[in-house]
Every structure is written in structure tokens, then in C-alpha cells.
């Protein structure tokens, strides 16, 4: 399962589990950071439209986007936030399917006074969440930048095609996942049929899309998972209206950390396209 995990760095066993789980899975403008009491921790930079909305992968809060968000010019507005249960955002009960998270995200944006149009940027499981948002609320979306996104069928495919690795991920879920991580992991496939119905029967107007992919599969990532990932990458391109996959040189699963300027450049290009259109 391609995902991110927060585990204790001092323990070598947990570091190995982190590596396995990654398979399964001074700035311009005015910055604001909400206190924990506000419910959702967020960082808002820049001005203008569309608003860039960053969505993190499993186990990551908003800090994973710091380098990319800080690299954007002050003429581009952006918001990074920590979903409930991550960072300084309080946990809240409820379902965490991709469709549920998309609706939670939209509610958060509206309550924060952050209006559409949105340019959605998502990494790993966060990429699946942004894809769901674009399907559910297509009229509010100006574009998509997906970084090594989790495919809607990825966990099922991993269990079938790489059962030994799937067993490692299940062990990590049992021993290392937080409450928020377990709920998101368990619910990741729940609205697949709803998304497929939307894609098949009510295709949305295709927004501008960038599909950014890693170019390094190392250690436990090589072999069966790499082959599976490439197959699912091709299906992502189809789901995104024939978007051309862009493999980012020198990047692993966390493209936003390994090559932040490649990500920020893609965002800048899509913002410019949205504004000119």
C-alpha cells in the first residue's frame, strides 16, 4: 500500500515498517497558522485565485508541504492543513472514505472563508482524496496536481499481487497506526463504486491535470510493488482523461520533499493556465 506513516524514529524495526508502508503507498505573502483550539490546523499563504489546496498522505500533517508552499510566489494563494487527528488538529469521529474526506475538506474550506475555484494538490492517499473532491464538486475545481497518488483499487491489488508485503502493512496497521491512520486506512476503498459511477455516467469537465510520479523504487519497494505501481499509474492516466504521466528525476514516494521545486513549478504552470482560461 502506498502511504505515509508517522512512527517512532528511534526504533529500527519501526523504520523498516515505515519503509514497507511507503510501498502500500521567510515566505512570500502573509502566513496564518490556526491554533489547535480552532479545530483544524492550517497555514495560508499568498493571494489570488484559484486557491491551491494541499492534501497530505496517510500519517502526514501540513508540514510535509512546507518546502513546496514556501516556494510558491506571493501572487498564488495556498492553504496547507492537517486533517483531524494529525498535527494540532483534534480527532473527530466519523467515516473517512475518500468521499467523506472530500466532503470534510470542502466543509473546512468553506468554514475558513476559503472560496473556490480550487487547484487541488494531493500526495499518496491525499491524491485519492483530491480526485474524489474533483469528482464530487467538479464545478469548484480548476485543476489537479497528483503526486504518486493511491489508486482506488490499490490495497486490494496489493493483497492479491504482493501478499507478503500486504502482511507487513497489516502488521504496521496493528502496531504503529494512530486512530486517524487506522480509520483512513480501513475506509480507503469504501466509496470506490460511487466514484466509478460518477466517472462513467456523469463525466466531469476535465480540469488541467499534472500526474507526477516517483522514479525510484528501492529496497522493499522494488519488484512486485514496482510492477503493480506502474500498472496502476497507467490506469490513473486513463482516469484523468489521458493525462501524461511525468516521472520526476531523483524522487522517491515523497516527491514534495525530494523535489519540491518540480512540484511548485507544476502548480505555478496550472495556476497560470487557469487564470488565462
12-276 CATH: 3.40.50.1820
3-state secondary structure of 82: coil
b/e burial code for range 222-251 (CB count within 10 A of at least 16 → b): eebbbebbeebbeebeebbeebeeeebeeb
Query: Is there a contact between 125 and 86 (Cβ–Cβ < 8 Å)?
Result: no
- For the chain of 277 residues, list the mean pLDDT of each consecutive stretch of 10: 42 45 39 56 97 98 98 98 96 94 97 97 98 94 97 94 90 96 96 81 73 92 92 92 92 97 98 92
| pLDDT value for 31 | 44
| pLDDT value for 10 | 40
In order, the DSSP letters of 159-200 are: HHH-HHHHHHHHHHHHHH--HHHHHHHHHTTTTHHHHHHHHH
Spans of all domains in the chain? 12-276
| pLDDT value for 19 | 45
Amino acid at each position: 500500500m502506498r502511504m505515509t506513516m508517522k512512527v517512532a524514529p528511534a526504533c529500527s524495526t519501526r523504520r523498516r515498517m515505515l519503509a514497507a508502508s511507503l510501498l502500500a503507498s521567510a515566505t512570500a505573502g502573509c502566513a496564518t497558522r490556526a491554533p489547535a483550539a480552532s479545530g483544524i490546523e492550517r497555514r495560508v499563504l499568498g493571494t489570488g485565485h484559484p486557491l491551491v489546496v494541499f492534501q497530505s498522505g496517510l500519517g502526514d500533517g501540513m508540514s510535509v508541504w512546507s518546502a513546496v508552499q514556501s516556494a510558491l510566489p506571493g501572487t498564488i494563494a495556498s492553504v496547507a492543513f492537517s486533517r483531524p487527528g494529525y498535527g494540532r488538529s483534534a480527532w473527530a469521529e466519523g467515516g473517512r472514505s475518500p468521499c467523506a474526506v472530500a466532503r470534510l475538506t470542502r466543509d473546512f474550506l468553506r468554514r475558513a472563508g476559503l472560496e473556490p475555484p480550487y487547484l487541488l494538490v494531493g500526495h499518496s492517499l491525499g491524491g485519492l482524496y483530491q480526485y474524489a473532491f474533483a469528482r464530487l464538486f467538479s464545478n469548484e475545481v480548476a485543476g489537479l496536481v497528483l503526486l504518486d497518488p493511491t489508486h482506488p483499487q490499490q490495497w486490494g491489488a496489493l493483497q492479491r499481487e504482493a501478499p507478503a508485503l500486504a502482511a507487513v502493512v497489516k502488521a504496521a496497521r496493528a502496531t504503529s497506526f494512530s486512530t486517524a491512520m487506522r480509520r483512513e486506512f480501513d475506509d480507503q476503498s469504501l466509496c470506490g463504486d460511487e466514484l466509478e459511477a460518477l466517472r462513467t455516467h456523469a463525466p466531469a469537465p476535465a480540469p488541467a491535470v499534472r500526474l507526477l510520479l516517483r522514479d525510484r523504487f528501492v529496497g522493499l519497494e522494488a519488484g512486485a510493488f514496482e510492477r503493480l505501481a506502474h500498472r496502476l499509474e497507467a490506469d490513473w492516466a486513463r482516469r484523468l482523461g489521458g493525462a501524461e504521466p511525468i516521472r520526476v528525476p531523483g524522487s522517491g514516494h515523497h516527491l514534495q520533499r525530494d523535489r519540491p521545486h518540480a512540484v511548485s513549478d507544476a502548480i505555478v504552470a496550472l495556476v497560470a493556465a487557469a487564470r488565462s482560461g
